[in-house]
Amino acid sequence: MRFRLIFFLVFVFYSCELSLREQTAASIRTELLNANSDKVLVVAHRGDWRNAPENSLQAIQNCIEMGVDVVEVDVRMTKDSVLILMHDKTVDRTTTGKGSVSDLTYQQIQSLYLRNGANHPTHHKVPSLDQAMSLAKGKIMVNLDKCYTYFDLAFKVLEETETTDHVIMKGKVPVRQVEQEFGTY
């Protein structure tokens, strides 16, 4: 009987926590779209790069735990068309490897380790966009930078992870051009 009560309480607590997390991303989006809002939204560039490697899952998780509203990440595409989080065109500065992201397969990139801000190797791996969006789901808005070229592929990932309403796309083209190329959402 006691076990059932403890199990029930844990279940209720977990369900409430999950429900609150789902509301977080939605409430941030609502605030972002409210032209009359006086709330200041906090955006973390490349995640919490001071305490974790930039564009890493840990950098995103730290932002979630700190209560950041939006995390900005950079997207690149591997040779085998997997979208990953990486700021630079090469893996040289941020990982233990060398080479252009577009010349390396996802499997090759997964053999590398991310470097921290002091250039020391860590145990962190380069995440895919899929992994990042799955982590962010319901918890935080995501600003996708350097992603416009891969918009079609990125949108498929967002649909698969059910996070199309979690994203701000960053680009250098007018809204009308985006609508002509991709339609409206």
111-169 pLDDT, tens digit per residue, is 999 999 999 999 999 999 999 999 999 999 999 999 888 999 999 999 999 999 999 88
Q: State which fold the 2-182 domain adopts.
A: TIM Barrel (3.20.20)
Spatial distance between the Cα atoms of 9 and 150, rounded to a whole number of angstroms: 45
Q: What single-letter amino acid sits at 105?
A: T
What local confidence, expressed as pLDDT, does residue 37 receive? 87
Query: Which residue shows structure tokens 């076990």?
Result: 3
Spatial distance between the Cα atoms of 26 and 63, rounded to a whole number of angstroms: 16
Domain limits of the chain? 2-182
What local confidence, expressed as pLDDT, does residue 19 receive? 42
DSSP state of 93: T
Spatial distance between the Cα atoms of 74 and 182, rounded to a whole number of angstroms: 20
For 167, the 3-state DSSP assignment is strand
Residue 91, pLDDT above cutoff 60: yes
Spatial distance between the Cα atoms of 183 and 161, rounded to a whole number of angstroms: 21
What local confidence, expressed as pLDDT, does residue 14 receive? 42
For 45, the 3-state DSSP assignment is strand
Q: Nearest 5°: CA angle at 168, between 163 and 135?
A: 40
Mean pLDDT of the chain: 86
What local confidence, expressed as pLDDT, does residue 185 receive? 60
pTM score of the predicted model: 0.82
What local confidence, expressed as pLDDT, does residue 180 receive? 82
Spatial distance between the Cα atoms of 90 and 100, rounded to a whole number of angstroms: 4
For residues 111-146, b (16+ Cβ closer than 10 Å) or e, as one string?
ebbbbbeeeeeeebbbbbbbbbbbbbbbbbbbbbbb
Spatial distance between the Cα atoms of 42 and 78, rounded to a whole number of angstroms: 30
pLDDT one-digit tens code per residue, 22-62: 458 888 888 878 888 888 888 889 999 999 999 999 999 99
Q: What single-letter amino acid sits at 130?
A: D
